[in-house]
Amino acid sequence: MASPASSDSDQVLVEANGSTRTLILNRPKQLNALSSAMVTGLLKCFTSYEEENTVKLLIVKGNGRAFCAGGDVAEVAQSINNDSWKYGADFFRTEFLLNYIIATYSKPQVSLLTGIVMGGGAGVSIHGRFRVATENTVFAMPETALGLFPDIGASYFLSRLPGFYGEYVGLTGARLDGAEMLACGLATHFVPLNRMSLLEESLKRVDASDPFAICGIIDQFSKQPSLKGSSSLNRMDIINRCFSKGTVEEIISTLEQEAPSVSDKLVTAAIQSLRKASPTSLKISLASIREGRLQTVGECLRREYRMVCHVMRGDFSRDFFEGCRAILVDKDRNPKWMPPTLDQVHDGVVANYFSKVDDPHWEDLNLPTRSSHGRRIVPKL
């Protein structure tokens, strides 16, 4: 029987089975989008269970047709408008601390990725040790279309995908299926949907924290799916040629040069996505992923926290609020980005997003010392 993780919210449920704890994201009508109460509840669970010797394994899953569609950015934007940017800063501070604890967790976590896994949903799963995808899994980092950037430590794991696939996924918001997640390393296993409940029941009977033992159990239910012919991973030559460029302008220009000769839907879709996205978001996202290649997960999260605070304050652009209006509130899907073109987003402005916030009450993200620097991403291409 599942019970609420905290007394003031039933948005995260906990089911206890022996030494296994199953954390259930429980906002099905909102596709389990992470509210402030959920982030706080999850952090409390992860922190306390790491200290409890009787708890050896954590399972994380979503209630309904989504694992988690991301952070509740509409809630954040509304709260900032009503109150202060510091509400948003507090939300992301807690969320990024949770991401860091998960990325450096000493006990195995198995995330069952049924349905939608986007944005903040990736933050509470991809950083964990085991990520199990299936036939109906849909992964994406759609932040550039919202005037945001791939945060939650995404600059760490996107920068470790094969070649320049992370730049492609992070800038275009391209959707990946379960087979693609496994192939590029975002998922560690692929289990058919009709075997997922059997896997879960087997894991609930485990009385061990040994990752090799947990992996062995998941392996028993896993299969190696085939990539679809149209998969973007079958176009890695084009992706690497285009998304290895040093600037967003060069990426788009190279894609446009490719378009006439390849007549490939991937190229056309990528150009359309990049043309629709916030120019500021595209530039800071590319810079963030490139920085992430040489940083630990903690360093990525600290930098991303600076970036997101600048976004919440609207220091250099208010595209985040315009994106929320156009995509989530009015839903006219016609954001008016400012500045409206890439050439108007200067390198100095991009660099400013990585700087400390000019506010006497602001502090950098303070993360505890942990023994790990983040998970390895192991592609299976």
Is 128 in the active site?
A: no
Name the catalytic one among 41, 62, 70, 71. 71
68 has a pLDDT exceeding 80: yes
Name the catalytic one among 62, 119, 120, 298. 120
Is 120 in the active site?
A: yes
- Report pLDDT digits (tens) over 285-321: 999 999 999 999 999 999 999 999 999 999 999 999 9
> At CB < 8 A and 24+ separation, what contacts does 352-360 make?
352/310, 352/315, 352/316, 353/284, 353/287, 353/306, 353/307, 353/310, 353/311, 353/316, 354/287, 354/291, 354/303, 354/306, 354/307, 355/306, 355/310, 356/306, 357/306, 357/309, 357/310, 357/313, 357/315
Domains of the chain: 12-353 (3.90.226.10)
pTM, to two decimals:
0.96
Is 8 in the active site?
A: no
CA dihedral 84, 88, 93, 94 (to 10 degrees): 110
CB 129 within 8 A of CB 304: no
How many angstroms separate the CA atoms of 165 and 49, rounded? 35
Give the residue carrying structure tokens 């590029």: 184
Query: What's the mean per-residue pLDDT of the chain?
Result: 94
- State the average pLDDT over residues 243-272: 92
Name the catalytic one among 95, 151, 200, 304. 151
Is 304 in the active site?
A: no
Nearest CA to 370 out of 294, 298, 301, 290 is that of 298
Name the catalytic one among 72, 75, 95, 143. 143
